[in-house]
Amino acid sequence: MPDNDTLEFSILDVFTDRPFAGNQLGVVYDASDLDADQMQDLAREFGYSESIFFLPPSEALANYRIRIFTPAEELPFAGHPSIGAAVEYVRRNKDRLTADPEGTYTVMQETKAGVMTIVVDGDHAWLTSKAIDLGDDMDAGPLLGAAGLSESDQAGAARTASAGLEHYMLPVKADAVGRAAAKSGFAPKVYLFNHDLAAGTAHVRLFGSGLGVPEDPATGSAALCLGVYLFSVGAFKGDGVHELTVSQGAEMGRPSTLDLKTTVEGGELKSVSVGGSAVTVASGAMRVP
């Protein structure tokens, strides 16, 4: 750190291969002397959907540990912070890491949700989760209200799904995704989506007023849940790896691309993986709260 009163930080854009797109991420590199209140103050100062704080691991298998904060609360796990953290960790520690034969790096990341495996290839990383919960059906009314939509916009059952962090999943008609608008007071969050399996694409948005995030430009944890949801409703036919390219954030002027893989074996969902790139846009030092 530059001195005892400041912290080294960077700002990354995640789920994009160019600056000033994707989802912004505040990164504090040495948070060992910070308590939770200070981390929350810094996350609020960054103002992004999430900020992360690097810490030494507490699990023997982990390379590093991160804590993840929205402007309003701490999360046990989140996607774009995990992708950004892994890419940045490899960038800063290549001299201490051993590449795989393919030239990629495998790191073990510890969060409050446990230790997850992330594979880093240059500026791109893949996060795989096996912590799968197929979820339960929900009342779609509050979710539609939170997105400013009506019952006629719904295109399937609303239900929960989790691959490390639970999300409220709402399938809607294709034209409804662009028309949606965040409305507070209906539900704390809603992930609305329209997918085309034949084309291998999905168009999604996430509104999270209850998390202090009116709209998120790219949501890796929810993309994982999309794979879980689609399996739970029988959308994937047969064993194998089912892939989707997920588009998010264009309505905010921050277009994002998330790669999704859902692995089915013996008719069972074995894992879901989300991938994306991360680029650094700024770095510096900030005061300790």
Which residues does residue 66 pair with via DSSP β-bridges, in sequence order? 54
Per-residue pLDDT of 138-162, as tens digits, reads 999 999 999 999 999 999 999 999 9
Which string of b and e fits 9-45 if b means at least 16 CB within 10 Å? bbbbbbbbeeeebbbbbbbbbebeebeeebbbebbee
Could you tell me which CATH number the domain at 140-276 has?
Answer: 3.10.310.10
Half-sphere exposure of 115 (CA within 13 A, CB side): 11
Q: How many residues does the chain have?
A: 289
User: What CATH homologous superfamily does 6-127+277-287 map to?
Assistant: Diaminopimelate Epimerase; Chain A, domain 1 (3.10.310.10)
Active site residue 88: no
Radius of gyration of the chain measured on its C-alpha atoms: 18
Instruction: Tell me the helix, strand and coil percentages in the chain, rounded to 5.
Output: 20, 40, 35
Average pLDDT on 64-78 reads: 96
Average pLDDT over residues 74-102: 96
Q: Kindly report, as residue ranges, where domains of CATH 3.10.310.10 are found in the chain.
A: 6-127+277-287, 140-276
Residues 104 and 150 sit within 8 Å (Cβ to Cβ): no
pLDDT at residue 157, as a whole number:
97
Coil vs helix vs strand at 19: coil
Compute the mean pLDDT over every residue in the chain, rounded to the nearest whole number. 96
**pLDDT over 90, % of the chain:** 97
Burial degree of 198 (CB within 10 A; 0-12, 13-18, 19+):
exposed
| Annotated catalytic residue, options 45, 50, 166, 268 | 50
pLDDT digits over 22-44, tens only?
A: 999 999 999 999 999 999 999 99
Which positions ≥6 away from 149 have C-beta within 8 Å?
172, 176, 179, 180, 192
Decide if pLDDT at 3 tops 80: no
SS3 for 266-279 is CCEEEEEEEEEEEE
Q: Please name which of 245, 255, 248 lies closest in space to residue 208, comparing C-alpha atoms.
A: 248
Of the candidates 107, 87, 110, the one whose C-alpha atom is nearest the C-alpha of residue 97 is 107
pTM (two decimals): 0.94
The whole-number pLDDT of residue 209 equals: 87
